Structure 1
Amino acid sequence: MRIADFPVPDTTAARGALELATEYQSAAITTHALRSWLWAEGIAATERRTGVDHELLYVAAVLHDIGTVTEYDNHTVSYEHASGHVAVALTAGAGWPAERRHRVLDVIVRHNWPSVDPELDLEGYLLERATGLDITGSQPDALPEAFLREVLVAHPRGALATEFGRCVTDQASRKPTTSARRLVDGGLLRKLEENPLERLR
């Protein structure tokens, strides 16, 4: 399994998602998004999942945390809902039909669920698994170590632990009824620091 096995979708929505991410997010948050996409694709391949909407998965992965940045933060909803609505607006501009736009919102929101049933939402399942791996180090043996190392070299973790911890702590303090509070109360900061991916760098 290599990065080259997973080409970036050559579409308006995919290009727009990456442009938004790189313009508004820090390098650490954007590389987290790209690693999450690659982990998700790798998990799908390893588990022989069929029927994956690869463009939708890419857009959702790249934009899943954009609601944490100042320009897209929303004081009334969770950061994952805010991120999802950014993706809805982007994909509307790219000509996606309403049903598929709602799917990208669902996938982004569900990435913060404790778990997602793949029968309910395959892309949501893959993104939840992938972000869990990248943030807390959940199930690192789901992917070959050589692939983990290749992705970490291509998209270094940098200051992710510090930056993401700060972002989600801020969200939790301002929006105590959202999933950010659950993540922080569940030991997010410790898990970020102890993530085994940090030792593979």
Structure 2
Amino acid sequence: MRDDVAPEADVESRLLQVGTSADVSGAGLEDFDASFRDALVAAYPRRGFAKSFVHLFQGQAERKPGCAAAELVAGGWSDRAMSNPLDQG
């Protein structure tokens, strides 16, 4: 939950950031081929991931009102996570 990481600065952190963003909120999914996304979800079904993750994130935001999770929840992040295309199939 930090600013974007440039690949030339830290390639592993960048890969983690891109993958996590796509997995959790669907950010950047348009950069992945649709057949890859379909195969990924077929191999690793979501099984309510978005709902569970948002619930845990909201709990952290309630416990720690000044944390990054609270800022994201206040900014509508939960709606984006719940509408992740990976969770819509």
- The answer to whether the superposition gives a TM-score over 0.5 is yes
Tell me which stretches of 4 or more aligned residues in structure 1 moved more than 3 Å.
none
The aligned counterpart of 2:31 is 142
Structure 2, gaps ≥5 residues long: none
- Provide the TM-score with structure 2 as the length reference: 0.86
Which residue is 1:123 aligned to? 12
Structure 2 residue aligned with 1:167: 56
Query: Structure 1 CA distance, aligned partners of 2:72 and 2:3?
Result: 10
Higher gyration radius (CA): 1
TM-score, normalised with respect to structure 1: 0.41
1:183 deviates by 1.9
| Gaps in structure 1 of 5+ consecutive residues | 1-111
Q: Which has the higher helix share?
A: 1
Cα shift at 1:114: 3.8
| 1:198 Cα deviation after fit | 2.3
8 Å CA contact 2:6–2:14 kept in 1: the answer is yes
1:85-112 CA-to-partner distances (Å, cap 9, x unmatched) read xxxxxxxxxxxxxxxxxxxxxxxxxxx2
With a CA cutoff of 8 Å and minimum separation of 6, indicate the structure with the bigger relative contact order. 2
Matches within 5 A, 1:13-92: none
Q: Provide the C-alpha distance between the structure 1 equivalents of 2:66 and 2:15, rounded to a whole number of angstroms.
A: 25
